[in-house]
Amino acid sequence: MHIESALPLWLVLPLVALAVFVVWIVYLRKQEESVLPKPLRITLAICRLLVLVIIGLLIISPWIRTKVSHQIKPWFVIASDNSVSMPPVTDKAGFLTSRSNLIKDISNSLDGRFQVKTIQFGSRIKEGFDGTYTDPVTDPGELFQYLRLFSQTHEVGGVVITSDGVATRGVNFAEAALNFPYPISVLANGDSAKFPDVRIQEVVCNEWVRKNSKFPVRIYYNTGDYTEPGFKLQILGPNGIIEERTIQTSKQESPFAEFMLQSPDKGTMQLIARIIPDVPDKNQDNNSKSFIVKIIEREGAILCLFESPHPDIDAIIQTLRGTNSMNITAMQASDFVGDDKSYDLVILHGLPSQKHPMGDLLKKLNDNMVPILFIIGKTTDPVLFNRVNHGMLLDNLRRSPEAARGILNPAFTLFTLPTDFNNHVSTWPPLVLSYETYKLDPGSQSLINQKILSVELSDPLIAYTNTRGIKYCFFCGEGIWQWRLHEFLEQKNHDYFDDWLSRTVQYLIANEKKDRFSITLPEELFAYSQLRINAHLLNKGMETINDPDVLFTVTDSAGHQTENLMGRINDYYELNLDGFAAGSYKYTAETKLGDETLRREGLLNLISRPIEQNAPVADFTSLRYISSSSGGRFFGPQESSSLNAYLKDIKPAEIKIRDEFKWFDLINFKWLLPILIVLLSLEWFLRRWFGIR
């Protein structure tokens, strides 16, 4: 025990002396004259002495420190997978009951030697165990991030994980648990035996397409161990099947089928890709996938400028004029005097050049964030070209032009390519290169690389960049007209070349960020899950603002509306919605900027099929790895009793003793007040009883 005070402790001695002196004056100085019996005087003197001493100590205000020693038991964490892939389809209720009892048994096996903490993991961490199994995804990275943070402030003796090993977001369990410093025991769940399962793996298409135009949709599918000869792939719209195709079972590593769909003149297309096997498979939850395509209703305006007439210009014009909703204007640079039109894309052939620097136009395009397609030729001036911050640098003009064929870059991911594109590219005639060096900035992507004679180079032939939000495309050589002519000679049509060039132009002009008021929806739209919706608003100066209110209205199929004001975060808007059942909803976002009303409409298609069901087969491989590498044990689905027996034998590596020091201020002792009241009351009563005031 240790005592300190606000005033010096030696004041206690004069305090006691003063109290004794007061008592002596009042009760003991003239004992022979007192009417009180001697025992009573002594009792009253003691009461007065105690009261004075206690009051004096309260004035001095001493602090008393005490030390208490505690045993610190380490923590043992029980982490239960709460994703929807955990319970079996046949007996979910029985599984929930048995799993709840199992968690209690594991806790009881550890009780007394460890402090037990139970958590659930899936899309997020939740403390405790309620056994809902409703999380649509499993994120092992989220689990081990929580465990590492917990271990920084707590002594951890070990971890028990119950899971089927299916990771549907982020890294797998083995990567997430890398270098985890505590032993992990695993109780596996589910069936790891594979069965035939036909499923839609991924749907790839542009989110924005022009009105009344053809656009590609690529469907990647997986047949697993499916042995039947074939199946059907369908694309469905609101009114039923749009396209259907019969596919023969393929052994390709990533098989896909590509469809060309016709877009309407406005609105949003709500589509579903569906796979139908000849023999129904065991798991049909992953046989369909929904996706949305938004329609750009305004016609695309394209300006094509060239230093001098060239067959490339005719090839481009012929291709784009055959595309719906494209309005192309082509002229020689000497005839261009500037205009006030707003273009979605500008094509420059052999420009900028010494004769036509195009400085004013390039500045205007940069200020308005207009994409540019450069066709680099012998008249392209490298100094003027390099002044434009577009992600490519030219250098070293060749003494004589060099012919270069194309090699497809397999790492290209900006947009989907026509089927069998590589075989076509390898047969196309060479382009004529005027420069030796074409240096791309990091983050750029080359679609086709150069092949000069038999040497394959990493230098680009066709490349794309995105600088400051502006898209650029570079044809590093002249002569693409020969590609179109070659296709006609080989295929008797220009469809393949036109398809590729149209996709390039569609990618460049599909810039939804130009909309001054835009709505961004999450990629995953699941029923009863949280939907984080963002909105961006630009003023007429194209500056991001969030001053006016944004009203977000959701309307269900019965016409019931839910209105919400979007919140403000930094310079944009955000709204979190949840509690919506599966189905199709219309949304409307509206704001008023001055006297201008901006409005956005679209669809929210909430699906009940969780992505956990894309891979219903349990994955025990990563679970075995994390248990063995961390020093724990792996237990199969039927070995819960063995797990409990194993946990009962685990002893804490060390039980630490922690000393706790507590400070007590005398005035905080509440029992002193009733003692003072009793002593003063007793003294007053006895004095009154014997007639003394």
Give the 3-state DSSP-derived string for 114-133, with helices as H, strands as E and coil as C: EEEEEEEECCCCEECCCCCC
* pLDDT tops 90 at residue 485: yes
Residue ranges of domains in the chain: 2-68+662-689, 74-193+618-648, 199-297, 300-512, 515-606
| Residue spans of beta strands (DSSP E) within 318-420 | 326-332, 345-349, 372-375, 392-408
Report, as an integer, the average pLDDT of 336-345: 82
In this prediction, what percent of the chain has a pLDDT beyond 70?
Answer: 85
Confidence of residue 502 (pLDDT cuts 50, 70, 90): confident
Confidence (pLDDT) at 69: 60
Answer yes or no: is pLDDT of 330 > 60: yes
Fold exhibited by the domain 300-512: Rossmann fold (3.40.50)
pLDDT at 307: 95
Cα gap 346→362, rounded to integer Å: 10
Q: Quick one: pLDDT at residue 640?
A: 87
pLDDT of residue 501 exceeding 80:
yes
| Residues in contact with 619: Cβ distance below 8 Å, sequence separation at least 6, in sequence order | 164, 165, 166, 167, 172, 192
Find the Cα–Cα–Cα–Cα dihedral 87, 88, 90, 94, rounded to 10°.
-50
Among residues of the chain, what percentage have pLDDT more than 90? 28
For residue 248, the model assigns a pLDDT of 75
264-273 average pLDDT score: 84
User: Mean pLDDT across the stretch 524-546?
Assistant: 74
Rounded average pLDDT over 315-342 = 83
Q: What is the DSSP letter of 651?
A: -
Q: Average the pLDDT over 88-102 and give the result.
A: 77
Return the higher-pLDDT residue of 267 and 590.
Answer: 590
- Does the global pTM surpass 0.85? no
CATH number, domain 199-297: 2.60.40.10
Identify the CATH number of the domain defined by range 515-606: 2.60.40.1930
Instruction: Pick 671 or 600 by higher pLDDT.
Output: 600
pLDDT at 134 (0 to 100): 79
Asked if 200 and 275 touch (Cβ cutoff 8 Å), the reply is yes
User: Which SS3 state, helix, strand or coil, does residue 508 take?
Assistant: helix
pLDDT, greater one: 334 or 513: 334
Q: Which of 203, 232, 195, 321 has its CA nearest to residue 615?
A: 195
> Out of 130-139, 194-203, 374-383, which region has the weakest mean confidence (pLDDT)?
194-203
pLDDT band at 30; cut points 50, 70, 90: low
Judged on CB neighbours under 10 Å (0-12, 13-18, 19+), 654 is exposed
Peptide bond into 352 cis (omega under 30): yes
What value does the mean pLDDT take over residues 27-51?
A: 74
**Per-residue pLDDT tens for 614-624?**
555 677 888 99
Both tokens assigned to 294 = 């938004």
Range of lowest pLDDT (116-120, 232-236, 337-341, 546-550): 337-341
Strand, coil or helix: 458? strand
pLDDT band at 445 (very low <50, low <70, confident <90, very high): very high
The pLDDT of residue 80 is 92
Is pLDDT of 83 > 90?
no
The pLDDT tens digits for 557-607 are 889 999 999 999 877 898 988 768 778 889 999 999 877 888 888 888 777
| pLDDT beyond 60 at 611 | no
For the ranges 383-387, 656-660, 675-679, the lowest mean pLDDT is seen at 656-660
Residue-level pLDDT at 612: 57
* Residue among 591, 550, 545, 555 nearest 567 (CA): 550
Q: Same CATH topology for 74-193+618-648 and 199-297?
A: no
Region 629-644: mean pLDDT is 89
Query: Mean pLDDT throughout 301-323?
Result: 89
Residues 6 or more apart whose CB falls under 8 angstroms from that of 476 comprise: 376, 431, 433, 435, 438, 450, 459, 460, 461, 462, 463
For residues 414 and 248, give the distance between their C-alpha atoms in angstroms, rounded to a whole number. 29
Q: How distant is the alpha carbon of residue 35 from its chain centre?
A: 90
pLDDT band at 448 (very low <50, low <70, confident <90, very high): very high
Terminal-residue alpha carbon distance, the chain: 42
Bigger pLDDT: 155 vs 473? 473
Q: What is the mean pLDDT of the chain?
A: 83
pLDDT band at 17 (very low <50, low <70, confident <90, very high): confident
| Token pair of 55 as six digits | 């009051």
Class at the top of the CATH hierarchy for domain 74-193+618-648: alpha beta
Q: Which range among 49-63, 74-88, 206-220, 644-658 has the greatest average pLDDT?
A: 74-88
* H or E segment and range at residue 248: strand 240-248
Q: What's the sign of the alpha-carbon dihedral 448, 451, 455, 457? A: negative
- Could you read off the pLDDT of 411-431 as tens digits, one per residue? 887 877 887 888 899 999 999
Which residue, chain included where needed, has tokens 């004069």?
A: 14
Read off the pLDDT of residues 178-224 as tens digits, 9 standing for 90 and up.
889 899 999 988 755 555 677 787 787 777 777 777 788 888 887 76
Strongest mean pLDDT among 146-150, 518-522, 686-690: 146-150
Segment holding 598, helix H or strand E: strand 596-606
Q: How far apart are CA 373 and CA 129, in angstroms?
A: 57
